[in-house]
Amino acid sequence: MRSYSLIAPAKINLYLEIIGDRPDGYHELAMVLQSISLADKVDIRPIEIDTIFVQCNHAAVPNDQTNLAYRAAALMAQQFPEAMAQYGGVEITIDKQIPVAAGLAGGSTDAAAVLVGLDLLWKLGLTQGELEDLAAQIGSDIPFCIKGGTALATGRGEVLSPLVNLDNLSVVLAKYRSLAISTPWAYKTYRTQFGDTYVRKAEDLQSRRQRVHSGGIVSAIMQRDRAKIGQLLHNDLEKVALPEYPEVLQLREAFASQNVLGTMMSGSGPTVFALTESERQALEVAETVRNQLANPDLDFWTAQLSSTGITLA
């Protein structure tokens, strides 16, 4: 039986707005999610015994049942026990290129790759919708990671409306290697500080969602207006992360001082990205900011915005 190698891209948030509390305990969000060409490679190999093995070349990524890739495989085994009985277990090998705990959905995209890979390996023929429903059971960002591209994500992030492709833009990303921001901390702090602005009634949530749909950045994306997209980047979580982590603010200011289209923290951070007109400009900005901040703890990446989610390598 054959093995599959999958490319699992990272995502950035072009927009992240926290709208309110949901009865299920999650936050109600409006986000614009964007795949980028920075990606992990996930290999899925059938093995004879009925077990799931995960291995990863990055020390901070667990090889046990807490790995999101493992959880994706366990969910598939639970949903399709006949397939596992017929085809055996699976060995998942993650070549980690996406920085870990960085706000770039690295774990989520690996899990998405496992869902897509096992669908192929076990010849299940699942539809996009079926894969997204399975993905939503493991994590809010995972449905987006399957199809990728550019999408408006509402609900807790799992209700997706595709937007047009922006794949001719580039991005430069930077992260302090030793800095991690806990996603639960960021949302909890936001709730403590800004919870009085939350929409809580179901009918109010509905009308608020409509307003987000017609929001400025979505129109700018539909018109592929690069300058406007750059100006309208937004992330509510910056309101809690930047005061707490001045080095992230300093990095953001360093990017903003360059001639970039726009700059923003991604997700709950601490990665900061800047949109640029070309890959060459992204490389130049990385070089300039690296020299300007001269901090050996700071890592840089450049990438293209991408129109694809999980693909075969």
Q: What is the set of active-site residues?
A: 11, 141
Under the criterion CB under 6 A, does residue 34 sit at the interface with ligand ATP? no
Stretch that binds ligand ATP, among 60-68, 213-221, 246-254, 302-310 (CB under 6 A): 60-68
Which C-beta is closer to ligand ATP: that of 12 or that of 217? 12
Is 195 assigned to a binding site? no
Task: Please count the other Cβ atoms lying within 10 Å of the Cβ belonging to residue 60.
Answer: 10
Which C-beta is closer to ligand ATP: that of 184 or that of 296? 184
Burial 158-191 (b: 16+ CB within 10 A, else e): bbbeebebbbebbbbbbbbeebbbeeeebbebbb
Is 126 assigned to a binding site? no
Q: Are strands 234-235 and 262-265 parallel, antiparallel or unpaired?
A: unpaired
Q: How far is the CB of 281 from ligand ATP (least distance, A)?
A: 25
Among 6, 68, 115, 254, binds ligand ATP (CB under 6 A): 68
Angle of the 68-79 helix axis to the 128-138 helix axis, nearest 10: 120
Burial 222-243 (b: 16+ CB within 10 A, else e): eeeebebbbebbbbbbbebbbe
| Distance from C-alpha of 208 to C-alpha of 215, rounded to nearest angstrom | 11
Q: How far is the CB of 89 from ligand ATP (least distance, A)?
A: 18
Q: Nearest to ligand ATP by Cβ — which residue?
A: 107
Tokens representing 217 are: 């950045």
Pattern 263-282, binding to ligand ATP, x per CB under 6 A? ----xx--------------
| Distance from C-alpha of 5 to C-alpha of 212, rounded to nearest angstrom | 37
Place of tokens 């009925």: 50
Pattern 79-118, binding to ligand ATP, x per CB under 6 A? ---------------x-----xxxxxxxxx-x--------
Stretch that binds ligand ATP, among 24-32, 61-69, 81-89, 279-287 (CB under 6 A): 61-69
Q: How far is the CB of 265 from ligand ATP (least distance, A)?
A: 11
| Distance from C-alpha of 75 to C-alpha of 155, rounded to nearest angstrom | 22
Pattern 130-169, binding to ligand ATP, x per CB under 6 A? -----------x----------------------------
Q: How far is the CB of 109 from ligand ATP (least distance, A)?
A: 8
Count residues near ligand ATP (CB under 6 A): 22
Cβ distance 82 to 115 under 8 Å? no
Partners of 150 in beta bridges: 34
Residue 211: partners with Cβ closer than 8 Å, 6 or more residues away: none
Is 100 assigned to a binding site? yes
Distance of CA 159 to the CA centre of its chain: 14
Stretch that binds ligand ATP, among 56-64, 187-195, 210-218, 244-252 (CB under 6 A): 56-64
Residues 178-197 that bind ligand ATP (CB under 6 A): 183
Is 106 assigned to a binding site? yes
Q: Are strands 262-265 and 27-47 parallel, antiparallel or unpaired?
A: unpaired
Which C-beta is closer to ligand ATP: that of 105 or that of 151? 105
Residues lying near ligand ATP in the complex (CB under 6 A) are found at 60-62, 66-69, 94, 100-108, 110, 141, 183, 267-268
> Residues at the annotated binding site for ATP?
99-109
